[in-house]
Amino acid sequence: MRILVTGGSGRLGRSVVAGLAAAGHRIISVDRDAVPSAQLPSNVEQETADLLAPGEARRIISATLPDAVVHLAAIAVPFSAPEDVIFTTNTRLAFAVMSAATELGVRKIVTASSPTVLGYGSPAGWLPERFPVDEETVPRPWNAYALSKLIAEQTVEMFAAAQGEKIRYAAFRPCYVISPEEWQGAPTQQGHTVRERLEDPALSAPALFNYVDARDVADFLDVLLGKIDSIPNGQTFFVGAADALATEPLAALMPEFLPGSSEAASGLTGTSPAFSIAKARELLGWEPRRSWRTELSPALGYEPPVAEQVSAEPLVNAEPTHPEGTAALITAGTGSKENK
């Protein structure tokens, strides 16, 4: 399959491009910035473009003629720019890419959303009716970033309704992305190491202890694109690891960091995460293959406890970056700039 990936030079984008290329697809990576060509496999080509420029998304898609489009490009960090800039940038990018791909007859179109659409971390308080949360949990975005991602999901639903079965659409909400080098000790998107996030629960609590290996996101997209014709059109999926980024059960940790959640979180025993990936399992047969228990480098001097079997339930994505520390969220990361 010939797949165009926007934001392909970004933090998540690089792993998605590499993973889809390794799966045998031909990839067109589109970004404002290119990565050194020597770092790319032979089945990856790069195009540089500002997708906010009028007509640019259509030009790139028309010139490359992909079979599928995966849209990752966005301002990926809440409060990293003025709220109106984040909102207009992300919504314009999503609409420009999806509308151009639709007009040009691309058969498979997927866009990145974010678990932050649910609204956790809100200064007004947030509690779900139950844990684990899933795709049926009602979104309550409280910042421009989360709202822009919810609108991207609604844009998917709009196009799916307008196109019927001619073109297939989907959205996915990746959890807090951990890239391969971060298992070896490189800082994560928040500046902490994975080990530090495990040893200090307060660091992972704003994200509700969610995470996902970037390579598992690439695997998910490979499976989704392969099966998108056989599932209902316009679906949204959580994409996370099968366990929590914590050394204690969330039934014990969650009430400490999310007041009032004791009853809702009581079922999060063992390694169960706060966000369910049951929908991706059931509709697609996708299963994450990596966790901190399998990937964290022993060279870091961290010996994980002998863990229970990784549970069949799952997670989210976020992090406090607000200058006043009010639980603003970082998404599972397509990068920290536009088109990343």
- Mean of the per-residue pLDDT values of the chain: 89
- Distance, CA of 35 to CA of 30 (rounded, Å): 11
How far out from the chain centre does Cα 31 lie? Answer: 18
Domain 2-178+212-241+276-289 has CATH 3.40.1410.10: no
Percent of the chain with pLDDT over 90: 82
pLDDT digits (tens, 9 = 90+) for 142-169: 999 999 999 999 999 999 999 999 999 9
- Distance, CA of 290 to CA of 240 (rounded, Å): 10
pLDDT digits (tens, 9 = 90+) for 120-132: 999 999 999 999 9
pLDDT at 306: 47
45: enclosing H helix or E strand: strand 44-48
Q: Where are the domains of the chain?
A: 2-178+212-241+276-289
Give me the DSSP letters along 162-222.
Answer: HHTTSSEEEEEEE-SEE-HHHHTT---TTS--HHHHHH-HHHHGGGTT--EEHHHHHHHHH
Give the bridge partners for 45, in sequence order. 28
pLDDT digits (tens, 9 = 90+) for 193-227: 999 999 999 999 999 999 999 999 999 999 999 99
What global pTM score does this model have?
0.88
Q: How confident is the model at residue 38 (pLDDT cuts 50, 70, 90)?
A: confident
- Distance, CA of 325 to CA of 239 (rounded, Å): 26
**Is there a contact between 314 and 173 (Cβ–Cβ < 8 Å)?**
no
- Distance, CA of 218 to CA of 57 (rounded, Å): 23
Q: How confident is the model at residue 238 (pLDDT cuts 50, 70, 90)?
A: very high
pLDDT greater than 60 at residue 328: no
pLDDT digits (tens, 9 = 90+) for 270-315: 999 999 999 999 999 999 999 999 999 675 555 554 444 433 333 3
pLDDT digits (tens, 9 = 90+) for 6-23: 999 998 999 999 999 999
Alpha-helical segments (H) within the chain:
11-22, 56-64, 83-103, 144-163, 180-183, 194-199, 201-204, 214-227, 250-257, 262-265, 278-284, 292-295
- Distance, CA of 77 to CA of 28 (rounded, Å): 25
pLDDT greater than 60 at residue 90: yes
pLDDT greater than 60 at residue 323: no
Q: How confident is the model at residue 326 (pLDDT cuts 50, 70, 90)?
A: very low
Q: 153: helix, coil or strand?
A: helix
pLDDT at 190: 83
Return the C-alpha torsion angle 200, 203, 205, 210, nearest 10.
-100
pLDDT at 304: 52
pLDDT at 101: 98
